[in-house]
Amino acid sequence: CYLDLRWSPRQTLPSAPGCLSFNQVIFTRKLKFRVGFDLSRTAEVKVQTLLEGRCTGDVEVQSDWIYATFQVPLQGKLESKVQNFRCVYHNWEYLKCTWQPGLLAPRGVRYGLYYWYEGLSHAVQCDDYIQDHDINIGCILQNLSQAEYKDLNICVNGSAAATLLRPLYVTLRLHNLAKPSPPKQLVVSMSASEELHVAWDPPGGETPPQCLEYEVQLAEDLEESVSTQMETALTISRANQSHIPCVRVRGRTNIFCADQGFWSEWTQECFSGMESKVTSISFTSFIKPVWDQVPVAAMSICWCPALELGSWFKTKKERVTNMDTLSLHLSPSFVRGNMTRSGS
């Protein structure tokens, strides 16, 4: 899932003491560099030597650029590539990727998923496949915390007797694919001052609580969000305290930790129909923005013994993103060797 670049130093470089030279590929003094490329396209590389020190009068001298291009020969027809490739990073704990066989994939095709990110010495094959009628149609990857906020490069290739199949390359960012579990311990109450109090806990697990934002909705207007916020409590003024509408909450990764993300499922609790008198008790709300972990607010909510739990409506269809157009980085050795062993 990577491309290794190597080159030789110029033979005419000065060797005087105090003369420093290095090759510019994101500024490195090494004679090799490893970087990811979209191998479904032509990769163009250029290298330049910079020279400075006493031998140049402390003035930087630059060589001309040298160029090289590389492209993996594309095999198989485009319609043979897997389709509907999707990945979700569940609760920041495991990545689940699924796909469907290509339109021209023959019966008995064997698919394999390989991945690589900076820090791995070589591409790694999935060891936990999801199957349908003995065909790999998905993979679950665990222990990817070291890949968070890095490019995760994935290849899904296939093999079949007497048929060449087009591989799929994608590059993912786990934090942009995160889907947390629903919030926990949802509590709803009504006070004598006609205020509806809603409170909940973060979902827990590996999801960073400071990375979450929440959406609160009422049953009487499911298409409009009452609030999108980072706090885990909300107070809403109500005109009729004898009736509490159904309330639900969901969460997703906020803009401080990701560019995008999937909403969690809605909480399943449904609160409705309160006629009894309420009694106020104290409740502390911890507001936890990314830049501050100190509790900064307190409020009161009410205990409502007549709250009734019920089932909620069907959740909205899970939002997933088709990854067919994304890119992956593969090494030439990976293409020549490992790609032929998928499904083994």
Q: What is the pLDDT of residues 278-295, one digit of tens each?
A: 322 222 223 333 333 333
Six-digit token string for 243: 């009736």
Give the integer Cα–Cα distance in Å for 265 and 251. Answer: 8
Six-digit token string for 204: 């827990």
For CA atoms 228, 230, 232, 235, the dihedral sign is negative
Which residues in the chain come in under a pLDDT of 70?
A: 1-41, 56, 219-227, 238-245, 269-344
Domain locations along the chain: 3-70, 78-177+321-341, 181-303
Q: Find tokens 């897997």 and name the residue.
A: 82
The pLDDT value recorded for residue 185 is 86
The pLDDT value recorded for residue 83 is 92
Give the integer Cα–Cα distance in Å for 251 and 215. Answer: 6
**Residue 156: which of 126, 131, 127 has the closest Cα?**
126
Q: Return the half-sphere exposure (C-beta side, CA atoms, 13 A cut-off) of residue 101.
A: 18
Residue type, 318: E
Give the integer Cα–Cα distance in Å for 275 and 16. Answer: 91
Q: Which CATH superfamily is domain 181-303 in?
A: Immunoglobulins (2.60.40.10)
* Architecture of domain 78-177+321-341 in this structure: Sandwich (2.60)
The pLDDT value recorded for residue 68 is 78
0.85 surpassed by pTM: no
The reply to whether 78-177+321-341 and 181-303 are identical in fold is yes
Cβ count within 10 A of residue 77: 14
Q: What is the pLDDT of residues 182-193, one digit of tens each?
A: 998 888 877 777
The pLDDT value recorded for residue 264 is 92
